[in-house]
Amino acid sequence: MSGRAQLMWDEAVTGYDFGPDHPMAPVRLELTRKLVSALGLDKELEIVAARPAGESTLRLVHREDYIDAVKAASADPGAADGAYGIGTVDDPAFAGMHEVSALIAGQSVAAAEAVWRGDAEHAVNFAGGLHHAMPGGAAGFCVYNDAALAVARLLELGVERVAYVDVDVHHGDGVQAAFWEDPRVLTISLHEHPRTLFPATGWPQETGAGAGEGAAVNVALPAGTGDAGWLRAFHAVVPELLADFRPQVLVSQHGADTHFEDPLAHLAVSLDAQRAVQLACHELAHAYADGKWLALGGGGYAVVDVVPRSWTHLVGIAAGREIAPETVIPEGWRQEVYARTRQLGPQRMTDGRWPVGYRDWSAGYDPADRLDQAVLATRRSAFPLRGLLP
């Protein structure tokens, strides 16, 4: 059973805009929000616009000199010269960059507070999941790391165990870095192998350090991994770790760039499998985290065809009204898509691959199979550090 959920939304988050030639087009957020309404989901949850994260909150993760640099670039974008990663091809400076980045972070932080205090059982911020931002610099289209800030705020509120599960196609490097030595935060990232994709980290041997040794887990998937392999890897790693760790809150990042249509990466996952993992995260939150679940967006560059559908499923699951895979998309939304983008929107809510099957790890593995090798590398590196069998 699910209690009332919150959807974090302030129209102003669409001001997170690196410019017309940048792949992270804000229309993806706008179209997602409209699809949520078109399917009537906004009546199923509370829509909340939280305040921007203030200076003291941003400092829970970010260095003061970096925040000052973001503010300076925000006020005078022309002066950004690449220092702190700002003014680069990936992270161009733009006017108002500090304010809108702090606004997105504020949504994730407020969502975490609401879930922890019991004001909402689940909360979604699909504008968030900006997992590449580092304590001292912008990276990979990310300025402030709202995911890490939400986790840091939970720790500040006294939470002792937070699990962060990141299924974006890219490694959740910024969140991992923020809690690298912190045993209170278990970070698990499933992503395309660092050999073939940005940010070139997320090797299975990265397991944390100091008191946090064993609190970082990385699954580096071979390029080309499809639904069956992706689900097999998820279920071979995540549930067992959460069952053992017993988080008090689950924070998950649902970058939609694992999809076969995504232009920036090389996995071959369908919307049906993305939806299956969203459902699994919801179930795991109920099984091991007393239902306390904060779900975030992330990457996703097929901005018309994939992102709105993927995150609308996420909102539906959090709202306790999951959207059936074969659901026909309302014509009004498709007209909106055409008007905004001159592209034809999709007709149904998934790729028609439901139900997506996979072979469970407990049924055995094949040491010659590349996917199984990836899972084994993770289990051998990380599981013994947590007292679990590889």
Active site residue 62: no
Nearer to Zn ion, 28 or 170 (CB): 170
Least Å from the CB of residue 217 to Zn ion: 18
HSE, side-chain direction, 13 A CA sphere, residue 347: 1
Tell which one of 44, 113, 146, 168 touches Zn ion (CB under 5 A): 168
The DSSP code for 365 is -
Give dist(CA 175, CA 103) in Å, integer.
18
Stretch that binds Zn ion, among 120-128, 159-167, 172-180, 293-301 (CB under 5 A): 293-301
Residue 257 binding Zn ion, by CB under 5 A? yes
- Which residues sit opposite 47 in a β-bridge? 7
Whether 171 and 193 have beta carbons less than 8 Å apart is answered as: no
By CB under 5 A, residue 192 contacts Zn ion: no
Which of 367, 325, 330, 380 lies closest to 349 in space, CA to CA? 325
Site size with Zn ion, rule: CB under 5 A: 5
Cis-peptide into 135, omega within 30 deg: no
The CB-of-169 to Zn ion minimum distance in angstroms stands at 5
Of 44 and 168, nearer to Zn ion (C-beta) is 168
Please report whether residue 202 would count as binding Zn ion according to CB under 5 A: no
Q: Interacting stretch for Zn ion, rule CB under 5 A, among 60-68, 160-168, 178-186, 317-325?
A: 160-168
Q: Which is nearer to Zn ion, 140 or 204 (CB)?
A: 140
295 DSSP β-pair partners = 124, 252
Near Zn ion by CB under 5 A, which window of 33-41, 46-54, 146-154, 256-264? 256-264
Q: Does 255 participate in binding Zn ion (rule CB under 5 A)? A: yes
Q: Which stretch binds Zn ion (CB under 5 A): 168-176, 207-215, 216-224, 301-309?
A: 168-176
Tell me the DSSP string of 142-208.
Answer: BSS-HHHHHHHHHHHTT---EEEEE-SSS--HHHHHHTTT-TTEEEEEEEE-TTTSTT----TT---
Burial code of 196-225, b = ≥16 C-beta within 10 A, e = fewer?
A: ebbbebbbbebbbeeebebbbbbbbbbeeb
**C-beta of 182 vs 262, nearer to Zn ion:** 262
Residue in 299, 308, 316, 346 binding Zn ion, rule: CB under 5 A:
299
In the bound complex, what is the minimum distance in angstroms from residue 97's beta carbon to Zn ion? 20
Distance of alpha carbon 68 from alpha carbon 78, whole angstroms: 16
Question: Which of the residues 57 through 96 are near Zn ion (CB under 5 A)?
Answer: none
Q: Are 360 and 195 in contact (CB under 8 A)?
A: no
Applying CB under 5 A, the span of 119-127, 157-165, 248-256, 266-274 interacting with Zn ion comes to 248-256
Compare residues 189 and 378 and give the one whose CB is closer to Zn ion: 189
Q: Which of 28, 33, 122, 170 binds Zn ion (CB under 5 A)?
A: 170
Q: How far is the CB of 23 from Zn ion (least distance, A)?
A: 10
What is the spatial distance between Cα 110 and Cα 114, in angstroms, rounded to a whole number? 6
Residue pair 145/130 in contact (Cβ under 8 Å)? The answer is: yes
291 lies in the binding site for Zn ion (CB under 5 A): no
CB of 216 to Zn ion, least distance (A): 18
Which one of the listed residues 122, 132, 235, 313 is annotated catalytic? 132
CA distances (Å), 72 to each of 65, 81, 106, 140, in order? 10, 11, 20, 20
The residues assigned a catalytic role are: 132
Residues forming contacts to Zn ion in the complex (CB under 5 A) are 168, 170, 255, 257, 299
